[in-house]
A and B are shown apart, each in its own frame.
Chain A
Amino acid sequence: MAGVTLDTVRKIYAGNVEAVKGVSLGIEDGSFCVLVGPSGCGKSTLLRMIAGLETISGGEVKIGDRVVNQMEPADRDIAMVFQNYALYPHMSVYDNMAYGLKNRKTPKDEIDRRVKEAARILAIESFLARKPRQLSGGQRQRVAMGRAIVRKPQVFLFDEPLSNLDAKLRVQMRVEIKRLQRALGVTSIYVTHDQVEAMTLSDKLVVMSGGQIEQVGSPAEVYRRPETRFVATFIGSPPMNILPGTVEGPGRVSVGGQSIAVTDMREGLTPGSAIEVGLRPEDVQAGGAGASSLSMDIDFVEELGATQLFHGKVAGAEFIVQASTGQLPADTRNLTLAVDPGNVHLFDPQTTKRLGRV
């Protein structure tokens, strides 16, 4: 078992396109690290560089204490689960799982023991003789996982492994992957664009955008204290509301002439300067006209069963409020929102960085 260390890793494609712009990251042994970001943010490229499927244009990738930059994928002691599973279509499930071990000249009885064990863990014992095309999507996914775990690698790499499954199966497999990783304790790096997957799976969440890391932290940290406006709007569903505001003074900002108190605010901001005010839809409470409140005009309501989403405008900007069903009448036209000073996030309109306490 081993951790993975990236030191200013770069990927420059032909034509001087920089897909990964100097990423440094330490992934502890046995942890589950999720790289999340919109498509084209460089997360898959980064994963493929760790796997050895893409050359590394600059920087250093270490698995354990070995620098693997020049190593063949086979020598890096990793296993990868691909988005389209990448099972060998002409081999049975058993042979798919045994292939990597055969290539490494593992004794036959040892291969048999390991394949059977992996099949038992993944509950695919009854399909061992079948070909991949005779399996459903979820079963193929299990075989792909099985192929990874029989090899007992140092690191598991997952490249959007659940995106080809339907929504229900995705939730189920997500739980299984998490459980399996806990049980095996193998360092895992998982790439996804789905922020729910990212939040639920990770010990360490890495949010990427434009070839760079935006923020690294535990899912709770990233959710509670987003470092940039990008992270704030990317993590969380529905996304965080961003309102234009101005600085009033220490601990106070105004949004469309309505003053609200803020706990986490950088000191020394010039009063009257522009600032962006972020509020999560689930963090604002309807009703109550305290010292810190905003008025909202409602356009329409989305029903989600347990909760309702009220879409409307606050100070001329789009705004969403999430409320438990029944808390508010569905035909509400106007709302007064109570804002907890601890739930207000402030961002610099120019740099988009958080303007919290240092």
Chain B
Amino acid sequence: MEKRAHISGWTLPLLLILPQMAITVVFFYWPASQAIWQSFLREDAFGLASEFVGFENYVFLFEQPEYYRAMVTTVIFSTLVAFFSLACALLLATQADKNIRAGQAFKTLLIWPYAVAPAIAGVLWLFMFHPTLGTLSRPINALGINWNPMLNGNHAMTLLVLSATWKQISYNFLFFLAGLQSIPKSVIEAAAIDGAGPIRRFWTVIFPLLSPTTFFLLVVTIVYVFFETFGIIDAVTGGGPAGQTTTLVYKVYADGRLGGDLGGSAAQSVILMIIVIALTAVQFRYVERKVQY
């Protein structure tokens, strides 16, 4: 049963929620509404005047082939990062969940990458895989691959996927570990007695029971790839070569900040905002329905 405290009057409750409301208004509602307003405006090249153009920015956006290319890039990028960061984190979590020597140290070390700032993570990986300076590009070249993320779009994307995945594994690992630890031990023992080997046990009992966690992490990781990888992209490839690693978020920055098209950039932000709201809504509905076992 839920217990409710009864407070008479409005003053105290309002005062209590005021700080949170102020933060939300200043850092979300205000810029968001400005973005929506700006997406209907067109500014001149010098930023001296602007005129209301209705949906013209949106129409123009969907006529650009570059926008669709950024969409495809984003989908490929987020699919790869989501898959690898979830799979690696799950593998590591299942190993860490076993009673192993120095397990605590192992867990602590695995959490560290999460504390590294995205741009620094990007630079770190760039140094390792730099075509001329990188310690790892030499062995790759020795394998007969002409490694050059500066010129080859696929190589650039590979490098981005590596660094973005590396950073997100920690977070996913923590949640998977918590998820694994919340599965009653006796259920797994029952499966062992029921004749299921370790691999079958994993796929028929453990993985289905982790599905709420997996789904939650999938949504979080997609949101991460959409927005927080900006730092990594900016540090490693700057959206290149030739725009081949420009994702939707990076394009917002490139068009608005570098290209000076504030209206078009604002329109892109609004579309991104809608995507995130939709993702979050799906997550809440699913989690509420499905999380209780």
Contact = CB atoms under 8 A, between A and B. Distances in A.
Nearest to B209: A90
B189 A88 contact: no
Interface stretch (B105-113, B120-128, B193-201, B234-242): B193-201
A90 B208 contact: yes
11 contacts: A53-B193, A74-B195, A80-B190, A86-B186, A86-B190, A88-B191, A90-B205, A99-B194, A99-B204, A100-B195, A103-B200
Given A133-B292, A133-B293, A86 B189 contact: yes
A73 interface: yes
Contacts of A73: 189, 192-193
Interface string A77-88: 011101110111
Nearest to B197: A74
A84 B184 contact: yes
B211 to A, nearest CB: 8
Interface of B: 184, 186-187, 189-197, 200, 204-205, 208-209, 211, 292-293
A78 B193 contact: yes
Nearest to B190: A86
A89 interface: yes
Given A73-B193, A78-B193, A88-B205, 16 more contacts: A52-B192, A53-B192, A53-B193, A74-B194, A74-B196, A80-B189, A80-B190, A82-B186, A82-B189, A82-B190, A84-B186, A86-B184, A87-B190, A89-B293, A90-B209, A133-B292
A20 B186 CA distance: 21
A87 B184 CA distance: 10
Contacts of A74: 192-197
Interface residues of A, number: 24
Given A133-B292, A133-B293, A86 B196 contact: no
Contacts of A133: 292-293
A147 interface: yes
Contacts of B208: 90
B194 A103 contact: yes
A300 to B, nearest CB: 37
A88 B195 contact: no
A51 interface: yes
A51 B184 CA distance: 18
**Interface residues of A, dominant DSSP:** loop
Kindly list the 10 A-B residue pairs having the minimum CB-CB distance in the complex, ordered from nearest. Answer: A100-B194, A86-B186, A103-B195, A89-B293, A74-B195, A86-B190, A90-B208, A82-B186, A73-B193, A73-B192
A72 interface: yes
A104 interface: yes
A74 B204 CA distance: 16
**Interface residues of B, dominant DSSP:** helix
Contact of B193 (A80, A87, A88, A89): A80
Given A84-B184, A89-B187, A103 B293 contact: no
Contact of B293 (A72, A78, A80, A90): A90
Contacts of B292: 133
A53 B205 CA distance: 17
Interface string A33-70: 00000000000000000011100000000000000000
B208 to A, nearest CB: 4
B104 to A, nearest CB: 16
A70 to B, nearest CB: 15
Contacts of B293: 89-90, 133
Contact of B195 (A51, A80, A104): A104
Nearest to A159: B186
Contacts of B204: 99
Contacts of B211: 90
B189 A53 contact: yes
A73 to B, nearest CB: 5
A84 B197 CA distance: 22
Contacts of A99: 191, 194, 196, 204
A88 B187 CA distance: 6
B215 to A, nearest CB: 13
Interface in A74-124: 74, 78-80, 82-84, 86-90, 99-100, 103-104
A51 B186 CA distance: 12
A100 B208 CA distance: 17
A90 B212 CA distance: 11
B186 A147 contact: no
Contacts of A78: 193
B193 A51 contact: yes
B199 to A, nearest CB: 12
Given A90-B208, A133-B293, A79 B187 contact: no
Nearest to B186: A86
Contacts of B197: 74
A133 B193 CA distance: 22
Nearest to B196: A103
Most buried by A among B186, B208, B209: B186
A73 B197 CA distance: 10
A75 B142 CA distance: 50
A51 B208 CA distance: 25
Interface string A269-285: 00000000000000000
